[in-house]
Structure 1
Amino acid sequence: MIPYKTIIKIDRTSKQPVYIQLTNQFIDLIKERTLPPQAKLPGSRTLSDLIGLHRKTVVACYEELEMQGWVISVPKKGTFVHKDIPILQQQEWPEKLLGKKDDKTGFAFEQNPILCRNFPQHYADDYMYVNDGVPDERLTPIKDLSIIYRKIANKKSTFDYMNYGTTYGNPELRETLAGYLNETRGLNITKDNILITRGSQMGMFLTAQLLIKNQDYIIVGETNYSSVNTTFEFPGAKLLKVKVDKHGLDTHAIEKLCKKYAVKAVYTTSHHHHPTTVTLCAERRMHLLNLAKAHHFAILEDDYDYDFHYNHAPILPLASHDTCGNVIYVGSICKTVAPVFRVGYLIAPKPFVNECANLRRFIDRQGDAILELTFSSFIKDGSLDRHIKKVVKIYKERRDFFCKLLKEELSDYLSFEIPKGGMALWVTLNKNYSWETVTDIAKQQKLIISEWKRYDMTNANHNAIRVGFARYDETEAKEFVKRFKKTMQDY
């Protein structure tokens, strides 16, 4: 006789219903063979008396067990453990490991070294970080967005967007973006040329999956956005790298490569090259477009921070000059407003957009329709333009202040050019110093320099990294430079 009175434990303070607690304990007894196949369970009245539960609770437990297939109920005979339940083959755990999660898997899968990255770990709040050039989330117009979101959510018509929708993204946002991008970036598109994504990275991933077959050639800068290199290499691309100088990608080097290889695509951050911040000059822009037409390759243009320009009007993207359907243009609202809002876009000829929408169905069925409607309204009522105007003024002031501090306090250790736009500097450390050593010493000053190696994937030894300034106000900038200076003095 199984001592149900002592082995059944019910937690009256738990949020889990009592009959479910009882069901789960019976399942454990069956799995561990305390209750073997075809064993008879106590009658509901008997068990309720033994463990002090209402008979209806026991009946509900037995019904749940039967529904899940653990037991069968035979009229006028009772309830029995199912005869065909196999023994669960379990690993014997050393006592010292009991309660710990196993680090091993019981199945085979591919671990791709291409995906391995040392992402920054979390430190206490009093640490500061050398970031890649990120916006200040404290400037997010959260109140304005909340008002719009609530207004949309309270409309009866909003229920139409609560079910599955199109993989292309909300039609209203696509229509709004087509007009907005035509006006601000000189494009000539309709909503049929737009796929809404969850940020520009999703657009680049979809592009890579559709463009690249194993061993296809893709041209990137010798210094380049490391995440996109990974995005291309994952489906098997072979990267061909060209130099980047003060005028941007060397398009004459691209032309030479096109004569030697069947190039599938060229990746560029034409407005502010990532990571060096230089702008692709007009001559090279036109040259690259002509090469794409002549050699039939795609240009993947990542316009990640088009809105942030300080010394002149923004330069129109390559996509605005494309008349042959060679440019795939990706961007997002994430950097402009706040990274948490995963709203981006991919713009391309309609057949390619259609195929991206087909593939997106199996990755991320659809976006957040209510959020997309919110941003449609945010753009249409002029709120986005007002926000951009506000933060550009703030970031320009922060750039100027940050650069002034660096020159005054750290010119003996590093050099940089003042960027015309964006949210980061391209900082070159004097050859007497190495970022590897600086990184170790900086931790003692509670200053974290993470992933510095990703800025020199080709081992060119340029000794430079990106240092973001937009995230820091004047007080924080002073503290940042103070810690950096102390690091260099302790070198």
Structure 2
Amino acid sequence: MSSPVDLPFLSFIQLDRNASSPVYIQAAQQIINAIQRGHLLIGSRLPGTRSLSDVLQVHRKTVTAIYAELEAQGWVEVCPNKGTFVINPEEGGLAVKTSDMPVSLAKYPEKTGYFFSKSNILDSPFEYSHCSYGFNDGVPDIRLMQMHNLSRIYSATMKRKSNRKKLGMYNQEGSEYFKAQLSTYLNLSRGLHITQENVLITRSTEMSLYIISQLLITTGDLVLVGELSFFSANMVFQKSGARIQIIPIDDQGIQVDYIRDNFEPGSIRLIYITPHHHYPTTVTLSAQRRIALLQLASEYGFVIIEDDHDYDFQYEQSAVMPLASADTQGMVIYIGAFGKSLAPGFRTGFVVAPYNLMCEMRKYLGIIDRQGDIIMEQALGEMIEEGDINRHLKKSLKVYRERRDLFCELLVDLLPEVVSFKKPTGGLALWTEWNVPFSLLKFANSCIQDDLFIPKTLLYQNAKVTAMRLGFGHLNDSEMEQSVAILKSRHDKMRC
């Protein structure tokens, strides 16, 4: 029950001793009004007569008269040896039980009293299920995360006095130490040539895209994306007012020649690509097209947003360097997420761009994320410097490579001549094309009956393609075997 000491009676009881109405009636009416408005909750215990008389500066007998009036009208109930409690006059009876929580008669408005614009663009496409098995678009397995090591580093970072001081400061610029470590890491792993002045730390890839869009896109600007592309990025661009047009994709990535053949110089504001493993098809943009795209960007004057969403997950020895590593004209904005092999709470987004653009982007970041996450960034920086990131990634890559191989074997063994795919050179998902078209939505819904969840965001179906992007990284061997067995079982039933 609420303590009477916590009830701010003077905030809703104002007595006028010059009024014609008696003081006890004034107080009783104002207490009733407070109950109706939710300032006093049903089940609240009112102060004793002596305490309330001190608060209201009235005689104790006046308070006795107030409570008598409230009880007569059915708003309070006096319980011997317990106190006076607020009740609901419509229900009556003893309102107080030791397990009851005070409730309010007042209701919060269900709708606003004013107009505001609604966005269909930002309707969340994400779904959730309680099925025992499920696919996603390719996320790591948090069971592989070295929780003990991560917690040790984070705890040690929290305990340092030098870091505690930073907790009391706004830090929209991000940890300079982490940016220095991250820039070195990106230079070594991606072949970039940057300093910490070229790095912006964000919460996620979506936040990075939002800031870029706010800065670069105006209503009506033309943005090019792949014929099949990342839905979250498209949502951000559309919400910023961009006109989105698609570029055809083949087994070498986006068709760069299509841009030259169908658009004029100066007509394109930017192009969004995931060249390392195109989302969702996982194909890699060829070296020839990378060079051609960089040349075309300089000639046409459009920005390239390069999203290397799964660069860390490479299973071949010869890694393809990002376009940003060969950009000499300042046309590429490179974005990604650091720590993808870790749990979501240990990841952070980043943007790499020329210094003049970075200065403007930090202004936007200061509006939406002024406080930053200095302790997490400090911990991640130490993980880079001490080599923990490389060691963890090396161990997890071995597991993910084995899972990729097993997933491909299961599809070949259980769904021969049904599904076509190419074994990806990296990433945590497989692009599977179903050879005979059928309703993927109905198929996904039927799989739920066998405890397998396939989100709609993984389904790609039109006149040209019937395909799914199936993530395997989060599944161990037995989970993978069971999931593919359900796919086979449900497909066989649909054919019958």
| TM norm structure 1 | 0.81
Q: Does 1:111 align with 2:93?
A: no
Q: Aligned with 1:485: secondary structure?
A: helix
Q: Aligned with 1:111: secondary structure?
A: coil
Alignment of 1:306-317 (within 5 A): 306-317=311-322
| Preserved contact between residue 183 and residue 194 of structure 2 (Cα < 8 Å) | yes
Q: 1:320 to 1:104 in 2, by over 3 A?
A: same
Q: Does 1:23 align with 2:8?
A: yes
Q: 1:23 to 1:348 in 2, by over 3 A?
A: same
Could you say which residue in structure 1 is the equivalent of 2:101? Answer: none
Q: Does 1:487 align with 2:482?
A: no
Q: Aligned with 1:134: secondary structure?
A: coil
Q: 1:163 to 1:385 in 2, by over 3 A?
A: same
Q: Aligned with 1:394: secondary structure?
A: helix
Q: Matches of 1:303 and 1:143 in 2, distance apart? A: 28
Alpha-carbon shift at residue 24 of structure 1 (Å): 7.3
Q: Aligned partner of 2:493: which letter? A: D
Alpha-carbon shift at residue 139 of structure 1 (Å): 1.1
Q: Aligned with 1:259: secondary structure?
A: coil
Structure 2 gap segments, 5+ residues each: 16-20, 29-44, 64-90, 92-104
Q: Matches of 2:135 and 2:13 in 1, distance apart? A: 51
Q: Aligned with 2:431: secondary structure?
A: strand
Q: Aligned with 2:207: secondary structure?
A: helix
Q: 1:327 to 1:38 in 2, by over 3 A?
A: farther
Could you say which residue in structure 2 is the equivalent of 1:53? Answer: 48
Q: 1:59 to 1:259 in 2, by over 3 A?
A: farther
Q: Matches of 2:168 and 2:309 in 1, distance apart? A: 31
Q: Deviations over 1:300-335 (max 9, x none)?
A: 000111011113332110110011111100111242
Query: Which of 347, 350, 357 is residue 345 of structure 1 equivalent to?
Result: 350
Q: Matches of 1:57 and 1:479 in 2, distance apart? A: 68
Alpha-carbon shift at residue 342 of structure 1 (Å): 3.9
How many residues of Structure 1 are paired with residues of Structure 2 in the alignment?
430
Alignment of 1:133-212 (within 5 A): 133-212=138-217
Q: Aligned with 1:465: secondary structure?
A: strand
Q: Matches of 1:359 and 1:301 in 2, distance apart? A: 20
Structure 1 gap segments, 5+ residues each: 1-10, 43-49, 63-72, 80-94
Q: Matches of 1:141 and 1:218 in 2, distance apart? A: 40
Alignment of 1:81-120 (within 5 A): 103-120=110-127
Q: Matches of 2:200 and 2:125 in 1, distance apart? A: 31
Percentage of pairs with the same residue? 36
Structure 1: 4+ residue segments shifted above 4 A? 24-30, 35-40, 54-60, 98-103
Q: Aligned with 1:114: secondary structure?
A: coil
| TM norm structure 2 | 0.80
Query: Which of 408, 416, 440 is residue 413 of structure 2 equivalent to?
Result: 408
Could you say which residue in structure 1 is the equivalent of 2:225? Answer: 220
Q: Matches of 1:203 and 1:107 in 2, distance apart? A: 32
Q: Matches of 2:114 and 2:246 in 1, distance apart? A: 38
Q: Matches of 1:294 and 1:182 in 2, distance apart? A: 27
Q: Does 1:122 align with 2:107?
A: no
Query: Which of 417, 429, 439 is residue 422 of structure 2 equivalent to?
Result: 417
Q: Aligned with 2:310: secondary structure?
A: coil
Alpha-carbon shift at residue 454 of structure 1 (Å): 6.3
Q: Does 1:440 align with 2:425?
A: no
Q: 1:263 to 1:27 in 2, by over 3 A?
A: same
Q: Matches of 2:146 and 2:210 in 1, distance apart? A: 29
Deviates more, 1:396-405 or 1:426-435: 426-435
